[in-house]
Amino acid sequence: MLNISDNDKEVLVNPSDYLSFQKIYKAELGMKMIRYFLIVVTVAILLLFMPWTQTIDGYGKITSLYPNQKPQNINAIVGGRIIEWYVREGQKVKKGDTLVHLAEVKDAYWDPALLQRTRQQLQAKQASLIAYENKINFYNNQIQMIQQGLNLKLEQAENKLKQAFMKVASDSADLKAVELDAQIAQERLNRQEQLYKQGIVSLNDLETRRLKYRETQSKVIAQSNKLLQSRNELENAKIELDALRAQYNKDLFKAESEKQSAVSDKLQAEAEIAKLQNQLTNYELRQANYYILSPQDGYISELYKTGIGEVIKEGETLLTILPLDYQPAIEMFVSAYDIPLIVVDAEVRIQFDGWPAFVFSGWPNASFGTFGGKIFTYDPIVNKEGKFRVLVVPDSTDQPWPRALKVGSGAITWTMLKDVPIWWELWRIFNGFPPDFYDGSFKKDKDKKDKNKNKDKK
């Protein structure tokens, strides 16, 4: 169609003046809103099926893993008076550097020659110990000589006893012989008397026989007396032997008693020597503790006693040393609600105070500025605040922690649990259920199976 009119077409028709045009525009806007709503719902449904990593939030602070790497409080081992400080706050010190000098305040240790006098006492006791040992050796020699003399005297007495016994045996045999002679003389006298009665022998012969018989009787009496004397000598020899043994035993017991007395004095001297040695060592160590030394390399953090001449007590804290090198760890606290889900070697994401980060707790891979860690251990006992302490160490497979971290700095942690869909996590939060337990061994077994499958395919 030819446009030969001078009128503008937009002037000829005004859509706002007509109700039909308004309805057409409203229908198009409604269709757009429906399409937009469907797109949003579709995207939301798709998002609900995306994976979400369940986490346990926590807050903690930087600490050191080993006890000797934690801040060390330096205490005064002995009480004293501060003479001089050799360090200041913030100063770097090495192991063995002198920190402070103390002076004695107890009157029992004021003597400047205390160690020398104690050593003299110890030397005197050691000399007395040597004297007691010599005395014991003297008594041992004396006892040995008494025993040797006793053995000689016993041999003499026993020989004398044997001689007396042999003499008794000899006299007894002689007595039997004399008695036999007397018996024979009796029989001969009896026969002589019968012959005399018969008139065969003379009276002179009879008298001779009677005289012979009397001689034999006198010999029997003399031999009996001799035997009795020998037996008395034998008994005297036995008595002399017993008396000799008793006398020497008395001497031995006396020497042994004096020896045991010397042994007792020696043991007492040894006990006093040990006591003096202990006392001397305590004095030496006490004087050595007047100079307090640094136990390790580090920095002086805080001085609790600063005055010259100030008196301190035993065990009182003087200053604090921060170790120069330490293995950082995070001391975080979790509630009793979450502690059953904590396992050793579980992965943890960390945001340190002072390091900017963009954190997506459900998508740790998408987070920026966080660092990796692993759970090292946890306390099985709740603390006073009703929390459980968990130690987190750096993850060797992740980027290293910042070297500028200081002990006591804060950190926010997210302990990684199981991967679940977002709809599952929303449903769990809505119902107040705890997160799903994550067993690290399941992931390890799955990784092993995937590696084995890849090897089989190759």
Sheet holding 72-75, edge to edge: 72-75, 317-323, 298-303, 92-93
Structure tokens at 319: 């200053």
Question: 302, 322, 342: which is the final residue of a domain?
Answer: 322
395 in the same domain as 311? no
Number of domains making up the chain: 4
4 occurs within a structural domain: no
Residue 321 confidence (pLDDT) above 70: yes
- Same domain membership, residue 407 and residue 274: no
In tens, the pLDDT along 325-373 reads 888 888 888 887 777 777 888 888 888 887 766 555 555 565 666 788 8
* Domain C-terminal end among 322, 344, 364: 322
| Band of residue 222 on the pLDDT scale cut at 50, 70, 90 | confident
Give the three-class secondary structure for 170. helix
Residue 342 contacts residue 334 (beta carbons within 8 Å): yes
SS3 193: helix
Same domain, 124 and 212: yes
Q: Are residues 155 and 178 in the same domain?
A: yes
- φ, ψ of residue 243 to 5 degrees: the values are -65, -40
Question: Tokens representing 277?
Answer: 């040695």
pLDDT score recorded for residue 440: 46
Residue 312 lies in a domain: yes
Distances (CA, A) of 104 to 78, 79, 136, 211, 332: 9, 7, 44, 117, 45
Looking at residue 161, which CATH number applies to its domain? 1.10.287.620
Residue 108 in domain:
no
- 8 A C-beta contact, residue 325 and residue 123: no
Decide if 153 is inside a domain: yes
47-87 residue pLDDT tens: 666 666 666 777 888 888 888 888 888 888 888 888 888 98
Contact 101, 291 (CB under 8 A): yes
Domain assignment present for residue 279? The answer is: yes
Whether 5 is in a domain gets the answer no
> Could you tell me if residue 341 is inside a domain?
yes
Residue 73 near residue 316 (C-beta atoms within 8 A): no
CATH code of the domain containing 84:
2.40.50.100
Sequence-ordered list of residues with C-beta below 8 angstroms from that of 140, at least 6 positions apart, any chain:
259
Instruction: Give 207 or 75, the one with higher predicted confidence.
Output: 75
pLDDT digits (tens, 9 = 90+) for 428-458: 666 655 566 444 444 444 455 555 555 555 5
Cα–Cα distance between 266 and 259 in angstroms, integer? Answer: 10
Residues 131 and 186 in one domain: yes
* Cα–Cα dist 51/56, whole Å: 17
Same domain, residue pair 316 and 332: no
The pLDDT score that the predictor gives to residue 115 is 84
Q: Report CA-CA distances (Å) from 200 to 186, 205, 209, 342, 343.
A: 19, 10, 14, 148, 146
Quick one: 151 and 20 in the same domain?
no
169 and 253 co-located in one domain: yes
Question: Same domain, yes or no, for 245 and 302?
Answer: no
Q: What average pLDDT does this structure show over 277-293?
A: 87
Structural domain span for residue 444: 53-68+326-457
In a shared domain, residues 275 and 400: no
Of 237, 272, 288, the last residue of a domain is 288
Question: Is residue 343 a part of any domain in this protein?
Answer: yes
Distance CA(436)–CA(65), nearest Å, equals: 29
